[in-house]
């Protein structure tokens, strides 16, 4: 038996299954079989599948914020490099997952038209990521690495949007090339003043 608490085991397995299968194809029974958790234990921690899915998003965002803290907080690197390092770390995680892309992007595409709760949560997550990145882009602007008339928040939103599109193409091709090409283009364009 795993030393991890039941809730953590369910969420970790659930995140992987959501990434691979999506929300609608995530069967609670399959999750229980994979984690060897009794049904009653699942419902002890989560009232509904929706609550479970939202908790998976929250855990995913804890990981994202951890990576943002690590990469954006590395003041030994220039600000633009810190942002690029974050996305490089994300690309490496995608590689480890078999290039299935972004959990947020996948759930957003699948559920935004049918669940206002999921649509709002995923949008809030993307906004939080862009907000964190915009602070580092503001540093880049203050250093003169970006044009003075650059709007760091707008540039951060554009980066997140472009990344999500590239992540979808990465998933479709099972290849990191779209991610690399997008980052190369973005940082070349952002750095040209």
CATH code for position 89:
1.10.357.10
Contact 19, 82 (CB under 8 A): no
Tell me the C-alpha distance between 115 and 134, whole Å.
Answer: 28
- pTM confidence score: 0.94
The answer as to whether 156 is a domain residue is yes
The answer as to whether 25 is a domain residue is no
**pLDDT tens-digit profile of 61-116?**
999 999 999 999 999 999 999 999 999 999 999 999 999 999 999 999 999 999 99
**pLDDT tens-digit profile of 153-191?**
999 999 999 999 999 999 999 999 999 999 999 999 987
Tell me the C-alpha distance between 9 and 31, whole Å.
Answer: 10
**Domain span at 55:** 50-191
Please count the structural domains in the chain. 1
Query: In the block, which residue shows the tokens 């540093």?
Result: 139
Contact 28, 49 (CB under 8 A): yes
The answer as to whether 44 is a domain residue is no
Considering only CA atoms, which of 53, 181, 15, 168 is closest in space to residue 105?
Answer: 168
């Amino acid at each position: 038996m795993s030393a991890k608490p039941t809730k953590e085991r369910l969420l970790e397995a659930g995140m992987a299954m959501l990434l691979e299968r999506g929300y609608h194809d995530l069967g609670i029974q399959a999750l229980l079989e994979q984690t060897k958790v009794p049904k009653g234990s699942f419902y002890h921690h989560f009232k509904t599948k929706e609550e479970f899915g939202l908790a998976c998003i929250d855990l995913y965002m804890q990981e994202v914020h951890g990576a943002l803290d690590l990469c954006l907080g590395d003041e030994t690197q220039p600000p633009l490099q810190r942002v690029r390092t974050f996305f490089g770390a994300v690309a490496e995680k995608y590689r480890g997952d078999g290039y299935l892309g972004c959990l947020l992007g996948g759930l957003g595409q699948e559920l935004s038209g049918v669940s206002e709760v999921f649509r709002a949560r995923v949008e809030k997550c993307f906004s939080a990521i862009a907000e964190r990145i915009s602070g580092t882009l503001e540093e880049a602007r203050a250093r003169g690495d970006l044009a003075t008339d650059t709007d760091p928040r707008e540039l951060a939103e554009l980066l997140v949007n472009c990344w999500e599109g590239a992540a979808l193409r990465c998933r479709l091709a099972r290849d990191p090339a779209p991610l690399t090409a997008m980052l190369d283009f973005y940082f070349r364009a952002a750095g040209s003043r």
